[in-house]
């Protein structure tokens, strides 16, 4: 058995049965093995950033790693931004990077580069498989490593000759360690903190499941503690029927106002809050002076279970206050960010997965979705844009029975728009609501906030933040990639387009035109 066959066979045995890929010459035997191991589903992408983002989205929904198959150092480079986001999400992800044959490395051929140096910047585990007899076992170690530390990227470098040589054998899966159980000492400390006036519980990571949210809601109902959700949740069960919780603001001033007066901050699956960027004269650490920080559950701990233990201590018999299903009809007329988000919320199918790369529209979106039908939100955990379209691919592959609605800023979409092609090929149920304001609008805000000044839209600096001249036409772009698309300039048109998207199978894109900021 060739190494590639042993590898692919072992992966499906370990439950890794989806591989998002951009193969090249050194990966041809892996590709060929798809014909031998039909349990492995290969999903082709047109760019590596789509493959890595899709694997992130897939694992966020299933809790299991997908594999990605990349071509040497440059392929890894192309996939790096979304591996960064996966690292920040704590996503279990198996990254297989094909490499030159062992005997070919010495020739320093054009595609040779330092793969492991790049891989280490995003991976918790990196290994180069050196022998066909080891490759399947190495892969099993890699799969097990993806679940360590609460979830991480494991990178297996796969030389072409290890793939093509005979002598491989399927290896048995290794036992993956479950998340750590809650620590009783921490639960007691959190119980003490959360029952004092002015307590805030910051929810993140594995706390954001329906189970964790319900426990948090009971804690809040019993103690009066305020709940907040981290700014960029990896996978958040929210909407009607679940506790209504605000997200911590993106801008430091907003977050500081939300945390103002907190006597204690209980961290459940979330890290202590810090500012996304540093700004002149603005603190990076957002914890108010004098506020006690109590870690209930870190990334490696089952935060939902920790919240349930905390609820059992401080809120026996309490009932969470659930958000009502109340998505008001959006105001008619020309679209703006607020009416756009209201339209998305009002038409959201129950059980949808919402992929949020809305950037300047994200706050309005989060607000509108609080009383929308129950759904799951996936956000941009690492700040590396170009995340949304690929994550939508992975989420839709993970949950073919759940509609995926991606609310997507245009500038970010243009990083990884190739994802639409994979949505078309795989007939994925994804509706992309493309928010087009013809600018890197978030940067126009940031230019002022950093004190750099106000850039005239037509000035030399301002043009670097402007996406008009020419304004990309996303209906054309989506159609060119095989995804049916429409443009909406009014609320009525958007609602109509969303109905159209839901009325037929497969992916759709609705380009929603909103006014430029500022």
State which of positions 118-157 bind its own copies (CB under 8 A). 118, 120-122
Write out the binding residues for its own copies, residues 395-454 only, by CB under 8 A: 411, 414-415, 418, 421, 424-425, 442-443, 446-447, 450-453
| Residue among 487, 485, 496 at smallest CA distance from 332 | 496
Q: Which of residues 206-235 bind its own copies (CB under 8 A)?
A: 232
Report if residue 114 touches its own copies, rule: CB under 8 A: yes
Lookup result for tokens 């060119």 = 480
In this chain, which of 384, 397, 406, 513 binds its own copies, going by CB under 8 A? 384
Residue 288 makes contact with its own copies by CB under 8 A? no
As a three-state string, the secondary structure of 378-420 is EECCCCCCCCHHHHHHHHHHHCCCCCEEEEEEHHHHCCCCCHH
Residue 442, CB-side half-sphere exposure with 13 Å CA sphere? 18
Q: Which two tokens stand for residue 459?
A: 């000035």
- List binders of its own copies among 249-278 (CB under 8 A): 274-278
Please give the Cα distance from 199 to 320 (Å, whole number): 17
Of 166 and 326, CB closest to its own copies: 166
Nearest-approach distance from CB 161 to its own copies, in angstroms: 7
Q: Alpha-carbon distance 404 to 489, whole Å?
A: 22
> For residues 33 and 222, which CB has a smaller minimum distance to its own copies in the complex?
33
Contact (CB, 8 A) for 205 and 90: yes
Tell me the DSSP string of 160-212.
HHHHHSB-----PPPPPPPPBPPPHHHHHHHHHHHTSTTEEEEE-GGGGSHHH
Which span (117-125, 186-194, 302-310, 428-436) binds its own copies, by CB under 8 A? Answer: 117-125
Decide: is 484 part of the binding site for its own copies (CB under 8 A): no
Q: Does 367 bind its own copies (CB under 8 A)?
A: no
* CB crowding 346-368: b at 16 or more within 10 Å, else e: bbbeeebbbbbbbbbbbbbbbeb
Out of 63, 198, 288, 383, name the contact with its own copies by CB under 8 A: 383
By CB under 8 A, is residue 460 in contact with its own copies?
Answer: yes
Residues in 65-104 that interact with its own copies by CB under 8 A? 73-75, 77-78, 80-81, 84-85, 88, 100-101, 103-104
Q: Please tell me whether residue 255 adopts helix, strand or coil conformation.
A: helix
Q: Which residue lies nearer to its own copies by CB, 279 or 500?
A: 279
Of the pair 166, 188, the CB lying nearest its own copies is at 166
Q: Which is nearer to its own copies, 78 or 408 (CB)?
A: 78
# binding residues, its own copies (CB under 8 A): 100
- And the tokens for 504? 């037929």
Rounded (to 5) percent helix, strand, coil in the chain: 40, 20, 40
- Tell me whether residue 34 or residue 189 sits nearer to its own copies (CB atom): 34
For residues 152-181, which are near its own copies according to CB under 8 A? Answer: 160-161, 164
């Amino acid at each position: 058995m060739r190494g590639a066959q042993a590898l692919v066979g072992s992966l499906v045995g370990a439950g890794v049965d989806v591989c998002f890929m951009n193969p090249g010459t050194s990966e041809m035997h892996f590709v060929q093995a798809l014909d031998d191991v039909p349990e492995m589903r290969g999903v082709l992408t047109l760019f590596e950033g789509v493959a890595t983002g899709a694997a992130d989205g897939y694992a966020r929904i299933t809790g299991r790693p997908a594999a990605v198959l990349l071509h040497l150092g440059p392929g890894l480079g192309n996939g790096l931004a979304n591996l960064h986001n996966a690292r920040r999400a704590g996503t279990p992800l198996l990254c297989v990077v094909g490499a030159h044959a062992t005997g070919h490395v010495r020739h320093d051929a054009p595609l040779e580069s330092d793969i492991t140096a790049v891989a280490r910047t995003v991976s918790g585990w990196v290994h180069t498989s050196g022998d066909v007899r080891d490759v399947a076992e190495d892969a099993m170690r890699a799969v097990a490593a993806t679940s360590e530390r609460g979830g991480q990227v494991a990178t297996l470098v796969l030389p072409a000759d290890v793939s093509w040589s005979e002598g491989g054998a399927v290896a048995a899966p290794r036992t993956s360690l479950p998340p750590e159980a809650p620590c009783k000492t921490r639960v007691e400390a959190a119980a003490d903190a959360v029952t004092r006036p002015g307590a805030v519980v910051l929810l993140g990571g594995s706390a954001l499941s329906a189970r964790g949210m319900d426990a948090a809601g009971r804690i809040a109902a019993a103690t009066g503690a305020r709940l907040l959700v981290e700014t960029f949740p990896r996978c958040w069960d929210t909407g009607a029927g679940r506790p209504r919780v605000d997200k911590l603001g993106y801008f430091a001033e907003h977050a500081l106002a939300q945390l103002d007066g907190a006597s204690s901050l209980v961290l459940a699956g979330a890290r202590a809050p810090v500012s996304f960027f540093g700004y002149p004269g603005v603190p990076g650490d957002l914890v108010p002076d004098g506020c006690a920080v109590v870690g209930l559950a870190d990334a490696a701990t089952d935060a939902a279970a920790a919240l349930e233990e905390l609820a059992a201590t401080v809120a026996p018999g309490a009932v969470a206050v659930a958000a009502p299903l109340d998505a008001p009809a959006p105001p008619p007329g020309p679209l703006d960010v607020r009416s756009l988000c209201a339209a998305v919320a009002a038409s959201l199918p129950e059980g949808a997965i919402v992929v949020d790369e809305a950037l300047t529209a994200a706050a309005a979106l989060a607000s509108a979705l609080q009383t929308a039908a129950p759904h799951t939100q996936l956000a941009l955990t690492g700040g590396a844009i170009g995340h949304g379209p690929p994550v939508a691919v992975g989420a839709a592959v993970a949950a073919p029975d759940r509609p995926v609605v991606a609310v997507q800023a245009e500038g970010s979409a243009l990083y990884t728009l190739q994802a639409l092609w994979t949505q078309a090929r795989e007939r994925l149920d994804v509706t992309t609501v493309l928010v087009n304001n013809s600018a890197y609008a978030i940067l126009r805000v940031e230019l002022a906030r950093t004190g750099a000044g106000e850039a005239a839209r037509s000035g030399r600096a301002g043009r670097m933040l402007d996406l008009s001249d020419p304004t990309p036409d996303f209906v054309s772009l989506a159609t060119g990639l095989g995804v049916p698309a429409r443009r909406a300039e009014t609320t009525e048109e958007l609602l109509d387009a969303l109905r159209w998207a839901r009325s037929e199978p497969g992916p759709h894109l609705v380009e929603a035109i909103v006014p430029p900021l500022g």
